[in-house]
Amino acid sequence: MNDTYVLDACALIAFLRDEPGADRVVTVLTNARDGKGKIHVNVINLVEVYYDIYRAVGKAKADEEIAMIKKLPIVIQTEITDKIFAEAGRLKAFYKISFADSFALAQAIVSGGELLTSDHHEFEALQGKEDIRIGWIR
């Protein structure tokens, strides 16, 4: 299996906190480590992870967790390309999704990847309306 995945903040947070769904993220990470797939995360979604940890337990832990994430087999998309920019804007204009989630979904669409998330309230309404693949982690 040589698939492409995009992690949103929920998927990363589930992994970090060993919440339900973390096992799905671990499987994808293991496969990527073994050269059987690629994983992307948009920097906007990584900011979500950072502020969630920062707010819950402080700066030192947030810095530590982000440093650990950067060592994983995840490509952090720091550039907002024209395609990502336009797609995120289009998604945000047409659907009631958060700003950050519009970037996660745009990243998945542009990369041809499957978005891994637990955010049913954000993404269920888009299924069947967009050419997207969503992998529910729980």
Alpha-carbon 52 to chain mean position: 14
Q: Is the pLDDT of residue 11 over 50?
A: yes
Q: What is the pLDDT of residue 103?
A: 98
Query: Which DSSP string corresponds to 21-57?
Result: THHHHHHHHHHHHTTSEEEEEEHHHHHHHHHHHHHHH
Q: What is the pLDDT of residue 1?
A: 47
Superfamily the domain 3-136 falls into: 5'-nuclease (3.40.50.1010)
Please count the other Cβ atoms lying within 10 Å of the Cβ belonging to residue 117: 26
Mean pLDDT of the chain: 96
- Render pLDDT for 30-80 as a digit per residue (tens, 0 to 9): 999 999 999 999 999 999 999 999 999 999 999 999 999 999 999 999 999
DSSP letter (8 states) at residue 125: G
* Dihedral class, residue 137 (left if φ above 0, else alpha if ψ from -120 to 50, else beta): alpha
Per-domain boundaries in the chain: 3-136
